[in-house]
Structure 1
Amino acid sequence: MSALDLNPKTTTVAAATIRPGHVVLESVEHPAQVTRVVVSNRGVTIYARYIWQASAEKDWKLGTFSPRSPVEKAVR
């Protein structure tokens, strides 16, 4: 098993640019991989799971954001 990077380098992006597969920071040292993005008249709803979770575990709602809201996205 490879070591998990719990503190990846990030850049601030608009919530509307987040896509499934992206890694975002739920909070400091809590990177989460985006599983779904739902766009509605209420905003952008992002669902994710922590990078250490098994793929069979249920994803959770990270939140609903304005399309321009800043989100910390991991960069390679």
Structure 2
Amino acid sequence: MKARDKLVYGVLCSYSGNTTKSTFVSVDRVSKDCVMDARSVRRAIEKLAAVGLVEIEKRFDENGRQTSNLYTINTLPLHFRQGGE
């Protein structure tokens, strides 16, 4: 994982609830907090989802339009805590 991915993971964690481990923070907000462009944040979130650190649930309004994503933070696997990729 790149440093960018780890930074985005940390920001998502900071917005997640203590009990639910979920957040619907916007890509724009994460982008501002990380001082990087929105496209880089999206790529980082996709990478985090691919390795199982984050689950993404698309949220829709009653008309079927996507309103936001709900990000659920998964427990950090042991090999990540020990400095592995």
- TM-score of Structure 1 vs Structure 2, range by shorter chain: under 0.3
More strand by share: 1
Which structure is larger by alpha-carbon Rg, 1 or 2?
2
Name the TM-score, length of structure 2 as normaliser.
0.22
Question: Looking at both structures, which has the greater relative contact order when contacts are Cα pairs under 8 Å and sequence separation is at least 6?
Answer: 1
Name the TM-score, length of structure 1 as normaliser.
0.24
More helix by share: 2
